[in-house]
Amino acid sequence: MSAKPLHRLEQDQIIDRKLEEVFEIFSNAGNLEALTPSFLSFKILTPLPIAMFAGARIEYALGLFGIPMKWRTIISSWEPPAVDPVDGVAKASFVDQQVSGPYAVWKHTHEFAADGNQTRMRDVVDYAVPFGFLGDIAHHLFVRRTLDRIFAHRRVATAHMLDGGPAPRQFSIVEVGFQIAGEVIGEAWRGFRRAGRDASEAVQGAFAPNPSSQPVGSSFDIEVFFDGDCPLCIREINMLRRLDKRNRVRFTDIASPSFDTGDTGLNWAQFMERIHGRLPDGTMIEGVEVFRHLYSAVGFARVVSLTRLPIVREALQVGYLLFAKNRLRMTGRCMEDICAVPLNAARVAAAGA
């Protein structure tokens, strides 16, 4: 199994035919071309008819945006119609998985369940795209959009084939390309407008009155949960203590033997994973947002507002996550390849809370 993160596509459809008939049609590889949009130039290369069973292999050819591809799959699971002894409902399923082809992972589960004289059909596709971050970009830009169109076509083609519905409209690859490009440009434009609004609000906030100078009903602005055994962390905490002239910050050391997770809803391991804070209303926050509240509380609200600018916000988030992931190693608390903090009795109890 690939270590690539899996994406999932799901589709449910009710077909006005009995289970046995629906299963026979969808388990017949010869019907795949009729269910697939023409812009894929999909062809079955394995000679027909194809005997279907667990272990059967099928080879296809297809093309996308002018790129020819070969695709080989294996039927990894084959369950013909039978009554489920648990709920008494007739069901069937099969799974086809990619052996070689355009995806890093492709697992398509087909599930069928009788519902009177109708059949509930469910498609679940777990897939991953190759080529690392370039594949992630490709997935966001066009892979998922293309798959959505393929399964939307399949839905209409199924209704046309089995229920006499209208035939699906066929689009050329050029039309599909323009459709997807239009969606991507539209999303980018909306994102650009949102970023502009965020930037405007951040700049306005930088010149607004400092909230920390205004009366506050609560006795504190934020409680910060810090690791007192972390040299870098304690250095910043000591600086914040010096800056906190109005005592607007509560400091809680999670490394203290007396520390109790209490009603925070978190365990000690979660506190150790990244910095957490608690607002006066009990809301728990984490990561960069904790530092925003801390520095606002000690008089730097105007500067903090600039950290909400889109580029600055993303850079701070990435930087903090990298630090949080590696802080034990950076602060000399790793023995060879093992980075862990010994649990005392209080921490054991908190970790299991």
- How do residues 81-102 score in pLDDT, each as one tens digit? 999 999 999 999 999 999 999 9
CATH 3.40.190.150 at 7-171, yes or no: no
Q: Where are the domains of the chain?
A: 7-171, 215-351
Report residue 290's pLDDT band, with 50, 70 and 90 as the boundaries. very high
DSSP conformation letters of 58-90: EEEEEEETTEEEEEEEEEEEEEEEEE-TTT--E
pTM of the model: 0.59
Helix or strand or coil: residue 329?
Answer: helix
Q: What is the pLDDT of residue 87?
A: 92
Helix or strand or coil: residue 100?
Answer: strand
Q: Compute the distance between CA of residue 242 and CA of residue 234 in angstroms, rounded to an integer.
A: 12
Q: What is the pLDDT of residues 189-217, one digit of tens each?
A: 776 677 666 665 655 555 454 444 444 45
What is the average pLDDT value for the chain, to the nearest integer?
A: 84
> Stretch 313-319: mean pLDDT, rounded?
81
Using CB atoms within 10 Å of the CB of residue 80, give its burial: 0 to 12 exposed, 13 to 18 middle, 19+ buried. Answer: middle
